[in-house]
Amino acid sequence: MTTQLLMIEDDARLAQMVGEYLTQSGFSVAHAGDGLGGLERLQGEGGGAAPDLVILDLMLPDIDGLEVCRRIRALPGSAAQVPVLMLTAKGDPMDRIIGLELGADDYLPKPFEPRELLARIRAILRRRTEGAAPSARCMRFGTLEIDRDARTVTIAGQPADLTSYQFDLLIALAERAGRVLTRDQIMEAVRGRELEAFDRSIDVHMGRIRAAIEADAKNPKRILTVRGVGYVFAKQQD
């Protein structure tokens, strides 16, 4: 089955160029020229298959990409879990951080090489489809349960709200419980590429994960910060 992509981008020329490139790479690409049109497509209005991933521009003519991302994460059902790759202005780290806080899975600064966009898309989709070894499909740490097949996280039976990327970060830590990992090691385990210079997105995502799985995110018991090094997932919990 062909993977469906939705590109929300007001630059029609760029959208056409990227769409043609991704189509040649085996994807089916739909285009929306503004944020509200993209949200309508995500909710099934106007027909068409539900997208497997959204490429979302930050600067749109009606509502900006940050608001679109926020609304996507508030949609009912599976639509809220669609991976979002945000296109941001080069040299504007604050917009990237806000986007990640709102639930974007990754970002790519403009201008970009289509090949890098393709690599990012494939990495996000691969993380969603790669299965676990049969012996480790479900991991339990006290009241925390991580189901790799269903890609769900629950705390005492209650669902925890994580993006696809945050789920994979949690898996990367949980698989190495008790081992201190640097930010570079964590990002490499999940994204499959070296950490960009001065990239603090890992800290933003860790904050979001803690808010979802910790009783007190400011006094975490599961994901601990090792000052000057990185993070460690505690083996003993609850």
Q: What is the CATH number of the domain that holds 174?
A: 1.10.10.10
Do residues 19 and 60 lie in contact, with contact meaning Cβ atoms separated by under 8 Å? no
Whether 24 is in a domain gets the answer yes
Whether 238 is in a domain gets the answer no
Residue 125: other Cβ atoms inside 10 A: 17
Q: Of the given ranges (90-104, 160-174, 203-217), which has the lowest mean pLDDT? A: 90-104
Average pLDDT over residues 173-193: 82
pLDDT at 134: 40
Sheet holding 158-159, edge to edge: 138-141, 144-147, 152-155, 158-159
Domain limit, last residue, from 113, 129, 145: 129
Domain limit, last residue, from 129, 146, 181: 129
Interatomic CA distance for residues 210 and 193, integer angstroms: 24
Domain limit, last residue, from 71, 98, 129: 129
Count structural domains, the chain.
Answer: 2
194 or 139: which carries more pLDDT confidence?
Answer: 139
188 or 32: which carries more pLDDT confidence?
Answer: 32
Using CB atoms within 10 A of its CB, is residue 68 exposed (0-12), middle (13-18) or buried (19+)? Answer: buried
Whether residue 144 sits in one domain with residue 125: no
Range of 68's domain?
4-129
* Alpha-carbon Rg for the chain in angstroms: 18
Interatomic CA distance for residues 222 and 232, integer angstroms: 8
Interatomic CA distance for residues 154 and 202, integer angstroms: 22
Whether residue 153 sits in one domain with residue 75: no
Whether residue 156 sits in one domain with residue 43: no
